Amino acid sequence: DARVTQTPRHKVTEMGQEVTMRCQPILGHNTVFWYRQTMMQGLELLAYFRNRAPLDDSGMPKDRFSAEMPDATLATLKIQPSEPRDSAVYFCASGLPGTSGETQYFGPGTRLLVL
């Protein structure tokens, strides 16, 4: 049963600390998305990659957020320094080329709380 995996599932940290979230896309999927979900803003696209290259990161605050794909099996999202307003659930999704909503598979999410 192919699934997107994300670690950690929960993270509590203090303001100013670095946070790293990891995602393992489904094997063979070469498009990876990072989303953030809050009660107020809903689900927002932060960035997405194809074949490890960033295609769009316009939704991501550039000063503190960074996203990378060191290899085809790992995507990372880093926040440095973290702030309380970053508290949210961060989802990773993966899909195939030309993927649309029909073929985006979401991971279980990382629930982040910044104190």
Partner 1 sequence: QKEVEQNSGPLSVPEGAIASLNCTYSDRVSQSFFWYRQYSGKSPELIMSIYSNGDKEDGRFTAQLNKASQYVSLLIRDSQPSDSATYLCAVNNFGNEKLTFGTGTRLTIIP
SS3 34: strand
Residue 81 CB, nearest approach to partner 1 (Å): 27
Size of site (CB under 8 A) for partner 1: 22
Tell whether residue 100 is a contact of partner 1 (CB under 8 A).
Answer: yes
Stretch that binds partner 1, among 12-20, 64-72, 77-85, 107-115 (CB under 8 A): 107-115
* Residue type (1 letter), 22: R
CB of 42 to partner 1, least distance (A): 4
Q: Which amino acid is at 48?
A: Y
Kindly write out the interface string for residues 32-71 of this chain, putting x where it contacts partner 1 by CB under 8 A and - elsewhere. Answer: -x-------xxxxx--x------xx---------------
Which residues in the chain belong to E strands, given as ranges? 5-7, 10-13, 19-24, 31-38, 42-50, 53-56, 65-71, 74-79, 88-95, 105-106, 110-114
Q: How many CA atoms lie less than 13 Å away from 39 in the CB half-sphere?
A: 2
Site for partner 1, rule CB under 8 A: 31, 33, 41-45, 48, 55-56, 91, 95, 98-102, 104, 106-109
